[in-house]
């Protein structure tokens, strides 16, 4: 299988790579991919619109934190403050700890969480899977996931992390 993730987020997070440079490179690569040859026979290896859309989400996360300064610790939808959450359990054997160390008994979730712990990174789609699992299946507050990801991601970014976990917890902008 082809690796379809760019894994450039740490470089963008720490300012080693600018969004403008990424847009220019993606645009150039997309143009080069469409030039010459029989377009019907060519298989698309990647979709530049998806890549660029993720940059737009990144900017929306930054704007959201600027406009809503409590984004990292309070739900955007205030009625979620009254949401009842399950007890995460103790630090050693509770549901939260099992999720953090990848011992939930659900192979996809466990593999993703172990990848996060070992590499400090996981693909975007798996981030959504483990967020949904934490909130929907375990019934735990999204802020537990936000805190864990902030402590373990090599590309940890307050704005993006809070924005994505708010959405995972159904209290953010994404509906």
Predicted local confidence at residue 1, as pLDDT: 37
User: 72 vs 106, which has greater pLDDT?
Assistant: 106
Q: Quick one: average pLDDT of 57-69?
A: 92
Predicted local confidence at residue 36, as pLDDT: 54
Separation CA 87–CA 36 (nearest Å): 59
- The answer to whether 145 and 116 have CB atoms below 8 angstroms apart is no
Predicted local confidence at residue 74, as pLDDT: 84
pLDDT over 90 (residue 87): no
Q: What dihedral angle (degrees, nearest 10) is formed by the CA atoms of 125, 140, 168, 130?
A: 0
Separation CA 152–CA 119 (nearest Å): 9
Predicted local confidence at residue 39, as pLDDT: 54
Reported for 41-48, long-range contacts at CB under 8 A and 24+ positions apart, including other chains, are 45/2, 46/4
Separation CA 14–CA 98 (nearest Å): 31
Q: Quick one: average pLDDT of 83-108?
A: 83
User: 45 vs 31, which has greater pLDDT?
Assistant: 31
- The answer to whether 23 and 17 have CB atoms below 8 angstroms apart is no
Predicted local confidence at residue 90, as pLDDT: 62
List binding-site positions for FAD: 5-9, 51, 155-157
Q: What dihedral angle (degrees, nearest 10) is formed by the CA atoms of 88, 90, 118, 114?
A: -50
Q: Which helix (H) or strand (E) holds 48?
A: helix 48-67
Predicted local confidence at residue 42, as pLDDT: 53
pLDDT over 70 (residue 37): no
Predicted local confidence at residue 4, as pLDDT: 57
DSSP letter assigned to residue 88:
-
User: 167 vs 85, which has greater pLDDT?
Assistant: 167
Separation CA 113–CA 107 (nearest Å): 10
- The answer to whether 14 and 159 have CB atoms below 8 angstroms apart is no
Would you state the structure tokens that stand for residue 152, as one six-digit string?
């373990």
Predicted local confidence at residue 114, as pLDDT: 98
List binding-site positions: 5-9, 51, 155-157
């Amino acid at each position: 299988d082809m690796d379809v993730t760019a894994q450039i987020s740490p470089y963008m997070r720490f300012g080693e790579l600018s969004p403008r440079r990424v847009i220019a490179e993606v645009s150039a690569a997309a143009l080069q991919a469409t030039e010459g040859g029989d377009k019907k026979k060519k298989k698309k290896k990647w979709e530049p619109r998806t890549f660029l859309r993720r940059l737009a989400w990144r900017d929306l996360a930054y704007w959201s934190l600027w406009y809503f300064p409590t984004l990292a610790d309070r739900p955007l939808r205030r009625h979620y403050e009254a949401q009842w959450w399950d007890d995460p359990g103790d630090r050693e054997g509770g549901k939260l700890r099992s999720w953090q160390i990848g011992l939930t008994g659900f192979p996809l979730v466990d593999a993703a969480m172990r990848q996060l712990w070992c590499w400090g990174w996981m693909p975007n789609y798996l981030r959504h899977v483990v967020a949904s699992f934490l909130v929907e299946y375990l019934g735990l507050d999204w802020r537990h996931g936000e805190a864990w990801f902030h402590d373990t991601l090599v590309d940890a970014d307050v704005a993006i992390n809070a924005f994505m976990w708010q959405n995972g917890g159904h209290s953010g902008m994404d509906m």
